[in-house]
A and B are shown apart, each in its own frame.
Chain A
Amino acid sequence: MSCSADLRQNIEDLALRLVMGGTESATAPADWISAIEAIRAKAADEQAAVLTATAEAALEQVRGASFQNDEGRRAVLPEIITRLQQALEGETEPPRSADLALGQDPELLADFALESREHLAAIEAQVLILERDPGNKEALHAAFRGFHTIKGLAGFLELWEVQRLAHEVETVLDRARNGELALGAAAIDVILLSADNLRRWLSHVEAGLRGENSPPPIQDQALLDRIQSLNGAPPETKPAAGLATLACQVEVADRGADGGPAAAPPSTPRRETMAVKVDTTKLDFLVDMAGEMVIAESLVRHDRELAGLKTPQLQRKLAQLTRITAELQRTAMSLRLVPIGPLFGRMARLVRDLSRQFGKRVGLETSGNEIELDRTIVEELADPLMHMVRNSLDHGIETPQERERQGKPAVAHVYLKAHHQSGQVVVEVADDGRGLDREKIRAKAIERGLISEDRILSDNETYNLIFEPGFSTAQKVSNVSGRGVGMDVVRRHVEKLRGRIEIRSSRGDGSSFFLKLPLTLAIIDGLVVGVGVERYIVPLFTVREMFRPRADTIWTVQNRVEMALVRGTLLPVLRLYRKFRVSPKSEDPLESILIVAEVEGQRFCLLVDELIGKQEVVIKSLGETFNTVTGVSGGAILGDGRVGLILDLDRLFKERNSESDY
């Protein structure tokens, strides 16, 4: 932001006074101090940060006791004025990020960031293979090529810091290729850390593209030194191996001998498939339209006027149309699907780092890498998976010594598996560690007041307690997990994906978490209900049962809260017409329908006029306009062309006792 002309004038006045010999006068220092102070105040007013800071520094300097006399003070005045002027210049130009070179095509930069991230992911996978199998030439070449490409692209885009770092690492790998350098544990570490560093630079570039003013990553001189020492080091350098790293190497031999199944990251050579890059908005739109086409086609097929005209020929044509529409929709949906393998692959790095950090020996095994899920689901799964893997390594898996004492193999395993099961995808996160301690969980829950002492819980109910917010049985809070945040967040993520988590565990043998997820997010199986003339959609996966209440079903407590007696349990009742302020067909429960729904393990009842039917609908966001609306999570086009509002049962349950504002 540019500074006012006044400010500029003030500084120039000061300069002028100097030129005109103002320093000779005895009162001069006091004069300048007040002049600089005035400049500082003005700069602060105008929020000219750099100038303010410069003026402050100047004031300190002039007032400083280090000057013996006024002579010294006068001598620095010219320099101070120069600095102030420079600062002023700096303020009038927009801050230029030195590494986001001006005039660079933002599209090129965005592409570069995207591509480089892909390269880095591949590099990481290859480097991890190299760590286990130092002789693997293919992985070495692939890693080298990755850094080489990034270096070239960065140079073209004048991202000098990135280019420099990539070049250093590329040199290390090149020397390894030529047999001049052996890649020991230290080298692998350095390469992986460099990849992390490069990722930070990419984030910085991306932030700049979004218009954010993020500080560039500090060029880690220590890291560069380490890289350079590798380059300068004579061949066959023995790595300074700590016990953990040695163990890591030994582990490699073990696994190799086992001849186990393909472990993560998938080491199959990348299939060269013809692919195109598509803008995700276009993709989403296509999927949307395909979904709507199914509905439009259905409307035509069931049109009453058409019914009378249906000759066999017309029937055949309509049947053909239906077939094609269904196929089109299936294909469109499949465009959004991506394999889960790469996500599992990312966990490999996490397992490696954490196992060293905790001094445990852990191997990762994956299966079902080729299983495909909607890409948004895969993205959403990243955090929960990381939490669970962390928990596993931190709490679930024992130290090698403890394992041996129990007669278990010293090397523990974490399993990431995916498979299809009756229209769902099941993602399993398992380990062969300690398993969940029922007693400990129960004790903690009682201590936290989550359950009463005399409450009897099944194994499953006990395990599910770990999903309660604020729950954690970790004895000490490590910086990774144990804050009691992990599992609560995991469950929320999974429920956001309209999935469920099931736990199976056995003391001493290990635990398994099963994440059961729908195949796609965009479409939901909905129960269409009517309240008055309005139509609402209840997500079917939340519905437990529905029935028409009898006279003795509904009770009013304290003249305010209504409860329903369902199979011996009292559940809260939410009258939708009251919550949404619409006029129902009838306010009498005996003429209405009660729908029992469940969110986050809690059940409650919705009172509606009627059940219209079941329908698969494409979820449409309502847009920013309705950001403040609670109770409705989106809209969908119903079979008759009207818009139905999809209910947000989570919010409805949480706000069941409050009145809305409008």
Chain B
Amino acid sequence: MPPTMLSAKEATPAQADGRAGKYLTFQLANEEFGIRVLKVREIMGLQEITAVPQTPAHIKGVINLRGKVVPVIDLRLKFGIPAAEYTQRTCIIVTQVQAESGAVLMGIVVDGVSEVVNLTGSEIEDTPDFGEQIAGRYLLGMAKVKGKVKILLDIDKVLSTQEIHHLGSLA
């Protein structure tokens, strides 16, 4: 369900500035999302994920990233979107997020990666409140580029440890 622009608030100039910059965009279901390029460490094709017992469904397990053991989250399941078959386009984006103990690497499984876009402050707007399908606190804002809307994620919040465990299913 594409988000409709309801009464989008006027983004204050100060806010929009902070969010301007380069974003890596990717697809999940029919939505386009973006995360700050600074948070992206690597993009790789799907590889064998070792499942870890006693974890919620959206935590797929761990992978070997050149000697480091990195956890991998399925973003669809995390957001409560029904799981889909992994295709050739399915990728793992390895992100670096701020956890309680410092910077950690975490991988997210996405349907496909699109491109890197450079967003100016004026292209970013605040998110309208459109229910709890995707919790508002995960969103930095929305951007309209070339007629398409991209949802900008605060990946630190999405992957914070408390979220990982207290989520259950958000849908």
Contacts and interface: CB of A to CB of B under 8 A. Distances in A.
Q: Is chain B found bound to chain A in the same assembly?
A: yes
Contacts of B100: 624
Contacts of A626: 52, 55, 59, 71
A661 B59 CA distance: 14
B64 A642 contact: yes
Interface size of B as a range: 20 to 34
B62 A635 contact: yes
A551 interface: no
B62 A622 contact: yes
A635 B52 CA distance: 10
Interface stretch (A164-172, A235-243, A373-381, A574-582): A574-582
Nearest to B73: A625
A535 B48 CA distance: 12
B35 to A, nearest CB: 18
Contacts of A581: 53
Interface in A635-652: 635-637, 641-645
Interface string A501-521: 000000000000000000000
B67 A660 contact: no
B143 interface: no
A498 B55 CA distance: 27
Nearest to A626: B52
A641 B53 contact: no
Contacts of B54: 580, 628-631, 660-662
B99 A289 contact: no
Interface in B122-171: 161, 164-165
Scoring B52, B66, B101 by chain A CB atoms within 10 A of each residue's CB, the highest score goes to B52
Contacts of A662: 53-56
A288 B66 CA distance: 11
A292 interface: yes
Nearest to B50: A643
A623 interface: yes
A662 B71 CA distance: 18
Interface size of A as a range: 35 or more
Given A288-B67, A623-B104, A637-B67, A629 B55 contact: yes
A338 B50 CA distance: 35
A46 interface: no
Interface in B89-139: 99-101, 104, 106
Interface in B59-80: 59, 61-64, 66-69, 71
B51 interface: yes
B53 A580 contact: yes
Contacts of A632: 52-53
22 contacts: A288-B67, A296-B67, A581-B53, A621-B69, A623-B69, A624-B99, A624-B101, A624-B161, A625-B106, A625-B161, A626-B52, A628-B165, A631-B54, A632-B53, A635-B62, A637-B67, A641-B64, A642-B64, A643-B50, A643-B62, A645-B53, A662-B54
Interface of B: 48, 50-56, 59, 61-64, 66-69, 71, 99-101, 104, 106, 161, 164-165
Q: Which 7 A-B pairs have the closest CB atoms?
A: A292-B67, A580-B53, A643-B50, A620-B69, A635-B69, A625-B71, A624-B161
Given A622-B71, A631-B53, A660-B53, 15 more contacts: A292-B66, A535-B50, A579-B53, A580-B54, A582-B51, A582-B53, A624-B99, A625-B71, A626-B55, A628-B165, A635-B50, A635-B62, A642-B64, A644-B50, A645-B52
